[in-house]
Amino acid sequence: MSLDAVRAFAARDLAALAASGGLDPDTSLDVVAAEWGADPQRCGRHFLGHPPAEAFWCPASLAGFDGTVRIWFRGDRVVKIEGQFPDLAPDDLHVLGPPEAELDYRRDVSVVAGGERLWASRGIAAKLNRSARQVVALSIFSATTVDGFTAGVRGTDDYREAAGP
């Protein structure tokens, strides 16, 4: 099992991330959790992919990310890692070359059209805000196709609210 992608992600080193070939499919949850001080027992349940498939996640805190890092897992394997507000500028993404796809994603009540830039074959995705001036999230997963990303690990978030007063 290689942790190259995991460590490049933590360092927000996009060149190293591109060279890593994506998250090793055998990446062990316990190993990553131990590396980052996360507790897999303190987890949430949600879905990834389309059609949605069950996945769990546990939070981690990493320097260089101004928000939570989620370690997504199924069984004892990590399937995706996503960190909120990485210390990266949109221009930093140029090192990855043109994205293979630009997908919509939801943020609070907003849908950001084409805001998720995807380099599926390298196992990397980055979400930009609507004006493309801020990198909102960075994620890694096992190298795949655009369809493979959508089917397997793309976020399936939907915003819900309690009923009104």
Partner 1 sequence: MTTSAAHVTRPTPAAAPTLADNRPDQPAGALAHVVPVAGRVTPVASPGDPGRTIRRAPSDFGTSTATTLKSGWGLLGIGSTPWDAILVAIRGYAALRADQYDQRVRSLAALPALLLAWERHHEIGTKAETDLKDDEKRKVTAIRELRTLLDREHRELATAGAKVDPRTRTIDAHRLTDDYLLEQVAKGHTTLKRDDQGLAVTRLQQALADLGHLAPGQVTGTYDAATETGVQAFQRANALPETGVLARPTMAKLVEAFRRHGAERRLATASTVETKPVAGEYGWGSAPDELTAGARDLTDPERAAAKEAVKTAQTAGPGGVQPTFVSDLPGRGRYEDRLKRLVLALVELEYDYLARGKAAKRNDDDLFGWDHIAVVANRAKRVTDAVFGQWSIGPALTPGVSIHDAWETKVEALKDVDVQDDAAVWRVTKLLTGNEQVRDLDREHGAIQSRGPEKAIVDRVRAAVVVAKRDKLLETHKAWPAFADAGVVNIQRFKKAGVAANRHEMWDLFQTVVHEYLHTLEHSRYRGYRETLGQQAGGFTLREGVVEYFTHTVLEAVDYNEELRAAVEGEFHEDGVTQPIPAYRGYGERANAEKLAGVVGATNVMAAFFLGDVEKVGGTA
Residues that bind partner 1 (CB under 8 A): 42-47, 50-54, 56-59, 67, 107-112, 129-131, 134, 155-165
Torsion of CA 131, 87, 33, 17, to 10 degrees: 80
Identity of the residue, 98 or 131, whose beta carbon is nearer to partner 1 in the bound complex: 131
Please check whether residue 138 is in contact with residue 86, taking contact to mean a CB–CB distance below 8 angstroms.
yes
Neighbours of 41 (CB within 10 A): 7
- The least distance separating partner 1 from the CB of residue 6, rounded to whole angstroms, comes to 20
Identity of the residue, 126 or 143, whose beta carbon is nearer to partner 1 in the bound complex: 126
Q: Give the strand order in the sheet containing 110-119.
A: 44-48, 53-60, 69-74, 77-84, 135-141, 124-128, 110-119, 101-107
Identity of the residue, 45 or 63, whose beta carbon is nearer to partner 1 in the bound complex: 45
- The least distance separating partner 1 from the CB of residue 154, rounded to whole angstroms, comes to 12
Residues whose CB is less than 8 angstroms from the CB of residue 36 and which lie 6 or more positions away in sequence, other chains included: 10, 60, 61, 62, 69, 71
Token couple for 103 = 């997908």
- The least distance separating partner 1 from the CB of residue 136, rounded to whole angstroms, comes to 8
Identity of the residue, 55 or 143, whose beta carbon is nearer to partner 1 in the bound complex: 55
- The least distance separating partner 1 from the CB of residue 86, rounded to whole angstroms, comes to 15
Please check whether residue 18 is in contact with residue 9, taking contact to mean a CB–CB distance below 8 angstroms.
no
- The least distance separating partner 1 from the CB of residue 110, rounded to whole angstroms, comes to 4
